Amino acid sequence: MSDNRLRLAVILGSIRDGRFGPTVANWFVGEAEHRDDILVDLIDLADVPIGSAAPTMTPPPQVLAALHELTPRLDTADAFVVVTPEYNHSYPAGLKNVIDWYNTQFHAKPVAFVSYGGISGGLRAVEHLRAVFTELHAVTTRDTVSFHNVWEQFDGDGHPKDQQRPATAAKILLDQVTWWAQALKNARNTAPYQALSTTR
């Protein structure tokens, strides 16, 4: 494998008991790992024990330990794919809470989305997340992967019943996010990205 592979962090945003997210995320990671131009890091937010702790300059020890483990994984990522369900026409509160702890880790990096849900396939959650990541100076890709009525789309082994359509959508998404990742990485190496202000 080339040492020049792009580092792709796949963030699994649902932390609910009984969630379907791991099925979707593991499928997508499998698709991404077929490529030889990226190195995938699956970040399951259920394993980041910050609870509902709001961002603060003095986090409690448990939160601080979780952030110390997560921060370098976000720092070193060249691109992100967020796997999200749709809760009440938007994205999970736990996902927003983790995002709010960070800022510069997302600057001038691409973010793509894999969504799932009922009839809307999680796309309303994606549209809300686009605004959030724009505020963090990230670039979101146009194309997504979405699973409508997701519980009907996978078999008992966690594979899509229609393998061709989602695989094609995943390839398009990965082509776009890696293009942006390489372009923005080159740009950051040429001139550090400057954000005018933050809310910190």
Q: Please state, in angstroms and rounded to a whole number, the distance separating the CA atoms of residues 63 and 104.
A: 19
Q: What is the pLDDT of residues 110-122, one digit of tens each?
A: 999 999 999 999 9
Q: What is the pLDDT of residues 134-161, one digit of tens each?
A: 999 999 999 999 999 999 999 999 999 9
Out of 3.40.50.720, 3.40.190.10, 3.40.50.360, 3.10.20.30, the CATH code matching 6-190 is: 3.40.50.360
The pLDDT of residue 190 is above 70 = yes
> β-strands 110-116, 38-44: how paired?
unpaired
Residues 6 or more apart from 99 whose CB is under 8 A from it?
A: 132, 136
The pLDDT of residue 54 is above 60 = yes
- Retrieve residue 78's tokens: 């060249």
What average pLDDT does the chain have? 94
The model's pTM is 0.94
Q: What is the pLDDT of residues 10-44, one digit of tens each?
A: 999 999 999 999 999 999 999 999 999 999 999 99
